[in-house]
């Protein structure tokens, strides 16, 4: 009857979950160790809280501490009549649960508390049960306090009541939250261990059965992990590795990170001795967990298929909510929970590219090896001689100690030539992986030609080719000499600032300094502080450096400049050059020329700073308030220094002879506006 009950309870849809989120933890309760099942009339499914809509609900904020002791009061309450559950039977269940948690947590967590006598309470409102759970708990606590219980000495409360088969309690064995637990006529170790897992912050342990990639084509089985009490396991085996990790129980050397690869011996999960219990591998946004189960402790009654090899689970990308997902890594089989172990001599390649190999697997432990395809890093090309270059770098070989190396190269990305494959040996690293030096000399190259290349490294775990890269084939070696400056230019760099940039060839000098001189004339007048330049080297040992910098705080106008570069082999200054700093236009001169009765021409000269044209407006009239305007676009003539000059003005006609007129000229460019002072003329 018990097994029938359990199987029915766990085969409920993922959206339905029993949440006995009680706060049970600590030392022993009473004596005895056997769970006592309660009478029932039908298989009992489980359900999330009435108000909850999330599938496969697990825990709420305020989850219990996962170490130490939490004292709990189990409240046996009824509003009709008690059932057959005795105080001693309830104590036996929680005493067994204490032993279970002590083993599963490697001594970190236990359960302690008390069970009350039967408490008569009013019960829920008519037609309600779990939906009036707060009232049930409040009534039960008040009744216990009336019996002399000091509620302040308990950290959590569990209400047990005889089975209710109507309303929202119909066929549901329990409901809970971080603030209290309601048990509907059912209490045994599988239920308590599972639901306390939720109270301690765990989600469910599901299964995801895939034939290839972890994607929507996989078959999802809620509660589908038969080898984890947070799944559908009737036998109350240990929590799985990802669940124990979440609870903080895999410290003290019980887990190892094999993300880079390596070899380790996994001890049986339930063993209480020292040693590694789980290996984790991070890949593809997931964390994979590998563990090993044998007939030890509470794992002794686990389904036999779970002993056949190592088990693989994952969390992260592709998992449902915060669930731990069991997968079937068995090569060449239809995925199934019943075959979800990898035995001795078997190999599995994950969808994310790493390889899991199982060696000897005995009652004492299983040897596993995790390998990943190699990686190639830090590739460099150095000159050997004219027409000869050496490519070097580093290869991470994961768990492989040896690899083969070859290099494809040529004057196009199609390469055309390949070096002979040769063996390279890796040096063992402290994390169990191997690292090898990559090195090969290419000869017969055309000096000065651009070559493409790619390095390929192959191990038993896969092969990798570096991205296409290029280098210039070596020519004659560089010789010492004074520096040379080339391609020095200036460009705007915001208001009142300019950027000078160019290149200096330093030949064999490995360091140098630069000084910038600038001013309104070729005599300059301002000198920047001497600054070191950043040196780069080409394959022939010829060194270059970027020169220049930003000069700010400049007024609009034309400036002269020169850059001086100094190395240990001499000094050189660039020829005098100019740049223009943008600003509003200027009106250099303005006046009038009479044209005869009733007409004059307004004429003048102006400068535009980096603007090729300007909008000209002439205002005129018989007073300084003016009255009339004439507007047109004035085009400038570009000078060699980037400055634009223009003749401004226009003809004014229909004027009254002998009358005094006032006038003013305004010029506007993108960099500003200038207006000439008021002047007069008489036509």
Residues 542-590 pLDDT 10s: 899 999 999 999 988 899 999 999 999 999 999 999 998 988 999 999 9
* List of residues 6+ apart from 302 with CB closer than 8 A: 227, 233, 235, 237, 293, 295
Output the pLDDT for position 176.
65
Residues 288 and 230 in one domain: yes
Phi, then psi, of 578 in degrees rounded to 5: -130, 155
| Dihedral sign (CA 511, 517, 518, 522) | negative
Question: Which CATH number covers residue 551?
Answer: 2.60.40.10
Cβ contacts of 487-491, under 8 Å, gap ≥ 24: 488/547, 488/548, 488/563, 488/574, 488/577, 490/561, 490/577, 490/579
| pLDDT at residue 44 is higher than 70 | no
3 state SS of 55: coil
Identify the residue whose tokens are 């559950």: 85
Domain range spanning residue 338? 205-371
Query: Mean pLDDT in the chain?
Result: 87
Locate 163 and state its tokens.
């089975």
Domain stops at, among 371, 398, 415: 371
Look at 36-40, 101-105, 430-434, 643-647 and tell me which has the smallest mean pLDDT: 36-40
Residues 57 and 97 in one domain: yes
3 state SS of 99: helix
Output the pLDDT for position 213.
87
Provide the percentage of residues in the chain whose pLDDT is more than 70: 90
Band (173; pLDDT cuts 50, 70, 90): confident
Beta carbons within 10 angstroms of residue 528's beta carbon: 14
Phi, then psi, of 675 in degrees rounded to 5: -130, 130
Residues 242 and 367 in one domain: yes
Residues 603 and 568 in one domain: no
Output the pLDDT for position 17.
34
- Rounded to a whole number of angstroms, the distance between the first and last alpha carbons of the chain is 123
pTM above 0.75, yes or no: no
Residues 125 and 232 in one domain: no
Identify the residue whose tokens are 């740049």: 579
| pLDDT at residue 119 is higher than 90 | yes
3 state SS of 151: helix
Domain stops at, among 171, 199, 227: 199
Phi, then psi, of 87 in degrees rounded to 5: -60, -40
Residues 243 and 316 in one domain: yes
3 state SS of 428: strand
Query: Can you give the C-alpha Rg of the chain in angstroms?
Result: 43
- Which of 13, 325, 17 shows the shortest CA–CA distance to 198? 17
Residues 257 and 390 in one domain: no
Identify the residue whose tokens are 């950027």: 499
What is the average pLDDT across 128-136?
A: 93
What is the average pLDDT across 602-606?
A: 96
Locate 678 and state its tokens.
């008021």
CA distance 367 to 577: 74
Say how many domains are in the chain: 5
3 state SS of 90: helix
- Which of 551, 430, 418, 565 shows the shortest CA–CA distance to 506? 565
C-alpha angle 348-351-356 in degrees, rounded to nearest 5: 25
What is the average pLDDT across 350-358?
A: 93
Residues 269 and 355 in one domain: yes
Q: Which DSSP state fits 26?
A: B
Output the pLDDT for position 682.
92
Contact 461, 372 (CB under 8 A): yes
- For residue 478, being part of any structural domain is answered with no
DSSP string, 23-43: ---BS--SS-----PPP-SS-
Residues 171 and 245 in one domain: no
Residues 346 and 267 in one domain: yes
pLDDT digits (tens, 9 = 90+) for 67-100: 998 888 999 999 999 999 999 999 999 999 999 9
Output the pLDDT for position 399.
85
| pLDDT at residue 114 is higher than 80 | yes
- Which of 369, 391, 480 shows the shortest CA–CA distance to 443? 391
Identify the residue whose tokens are 């004219």: 386
Output the pLDDT for position 62.
64
pLDDT digits (tens, 9 = 90+) for 415-469: 999 999 999 999 988 777 899 999 999 999 999 999 999 999 999 999 999 999 9
| pLDDT at residue 147 is higher than 70 | yes
Residues 431 and 313 in one domain: no
Output the pLDDT for position 172.
67
Between 176 and 470, name the one with better pLDDT. 470
- For residue 286, being part of any structural domain is answered with yes
Bridge partner list, 614: 634
Residues 154 and 21 in one domain: yes
Beta carbons within 10 angstroms of residue 241's beta carbon: 29
Look at 172-186, 272-286, 366-380, 553-567 and tell me which has the smallest mean pLDDT: 172-186
Let me know how many helices (H) and strands (E) the chain has, helices first: 5, 46
CA distance 319 to 332: 23
3 state SS of 671: coil
Identify the residue whose tokens are 């890093």: 377
- For residue 477, being part of any structural domain is answered with no
Output the pLDDT for position 69.
87
Exposure string of 572-582, with b = 16+ CB inside 10 Å and e = fewer, is eebeebbbbbb
Band (400; pLDDT cuts 50, 70, 90): confident
Exposure string of 619-654, with b = 16+ CB inside 10 Å and e = fewer, is bbeeeeebeeebeeebebeeeeebbbebebbbebee
CA distance 231 to 239: 9
């Amino acid at each position: 009857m018990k097994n029938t009950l359990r199987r029915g309870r766990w085969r409920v849809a993922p959206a339905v979950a029993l949440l006995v989120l009680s706060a049970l933890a600590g030392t022993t309760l009473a004596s005895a160790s056997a769970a006592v099942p309660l009478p029932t009339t039908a298989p009992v499914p489980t359900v999330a809280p009435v108000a909850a809509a999330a599938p496969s609900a697990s825990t709420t904020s305020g989850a219990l501490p996962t170490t130490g002791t939490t004292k709990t009061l189990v409240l046996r309450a009824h509003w009709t009549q008690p059932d057959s559950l005795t105080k001693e039977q309830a104590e036996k269940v929680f005493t067994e649960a204490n032993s279970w948690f002590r083993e599963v947590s490697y001594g970190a967590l236990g359960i302690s508390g008390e069970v009350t006598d039967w408490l008569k309470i009013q019960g829920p409102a008519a037609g309600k049960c779990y939906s009036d759970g707060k009232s049930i708990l409040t009534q039960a606590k008040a009744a216990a306090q009336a019996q002399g219980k000091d509620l302040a000495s308990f950290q959590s409360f569990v209400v047990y009541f005889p089975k209710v088969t109507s309303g929202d309690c119909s066929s549901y064995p329990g409901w809970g939250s971080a603030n209290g637990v309601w048990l509907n006529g059912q209490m045994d170790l599988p239920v308590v261990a599972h639901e306390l897992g939720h109270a301690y912050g765990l989600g469910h342990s599901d299964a995801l059965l895939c034939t290839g990639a972890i994607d929507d084509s996989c078959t999802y089985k809620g509660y589908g992990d038969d080898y984890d009490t947070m799944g559908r396991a009737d036998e109350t085996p240990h929590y799985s590795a990802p669940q124990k990790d979440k609870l903080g129980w895999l410290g003290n050397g019980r887990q190892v990170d094999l993300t880079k690869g390596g070899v380790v011996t996994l001890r049986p999960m339930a063993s209480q001795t020292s040693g590694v219990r789980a290996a984790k591998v991070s890949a593809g946004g997931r964390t994979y967990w590998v563990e090993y189960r044998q007939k030890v402790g509470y794992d002794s009654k686990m389904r036999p298929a779970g002993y056949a090899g190592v088990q693989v689970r994952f969390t992260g990308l592709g998992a449902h909510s915060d669930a731990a997902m069991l997968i079937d890594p068995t090569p060449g089989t239809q995925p199934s929970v019943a075959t979800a172990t990898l035995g001795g001599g078997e190999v599995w390649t994950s969808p994310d590219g790493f390889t899991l190999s199982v060696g000897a697997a005995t009652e004492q432990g299983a040897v596993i090896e995790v390998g990943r395809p190699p990686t190639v890093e830090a590739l460099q090309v150095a000159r050997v001689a004219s027409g000869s270059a050496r490519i070097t770098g580093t290869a991470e070989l994961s768990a492989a100690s040896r690899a083969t190396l070859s290099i494809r190269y040529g004057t196009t990305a199609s390469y055309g030539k390949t070096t002979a494959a040769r063996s390279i040996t890796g040096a063992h690293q402290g994390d169990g992986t191997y690292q090898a030096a990559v090195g090969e000399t290419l000869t017969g190259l055309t000096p000065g030609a651009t070559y493409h290349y790619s390095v390929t490294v192959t191990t038993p775990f896969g092969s990798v080719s570096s991205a296409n890269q290029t280098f210039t084939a070596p020519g004659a070696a560089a010789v010492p000499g004074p520096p040379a400056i080339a391609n020095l230019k200036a460009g705007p760099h915001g208001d009142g600032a300019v950027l000078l940039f160019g290149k200096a060839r330093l030949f064999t000098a490995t360091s140098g300094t630069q000084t910038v001189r600038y001013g309104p004339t070729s005599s300059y007048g301002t000198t920047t502080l001497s600054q070191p330049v950043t040196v780069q080297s080409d394959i022939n040992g010829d060194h270059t450096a970027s020169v220049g910098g930003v000069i700010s705080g400049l007024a609009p106008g034309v400036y002269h400049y020169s850059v001086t570069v100094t190395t240990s082999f001499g000094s050189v200054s660039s020829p005098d050059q100019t740049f223009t700093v943008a600003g509003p236009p200027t009106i250099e001169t303005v006046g009038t020329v009479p044209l005869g009765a009733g007409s004059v021409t307004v004429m003048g000269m102006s400068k535009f700073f980096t603007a090729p044209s300007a909008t000209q407006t002439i205002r005129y009239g018989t007073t300084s308030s003016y009255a009339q305007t004439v507007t047109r676009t004035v085009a400038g003539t570009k000078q060699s220094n980037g400055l634009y000059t223009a003749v401004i003005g226009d003809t004014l006609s229909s004027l009254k002879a002998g009358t005094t007129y006032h006038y003013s000229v305004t010029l506007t460019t993108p960099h500003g506006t200038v207006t000439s002072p008021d002047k007069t003329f008489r036509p």
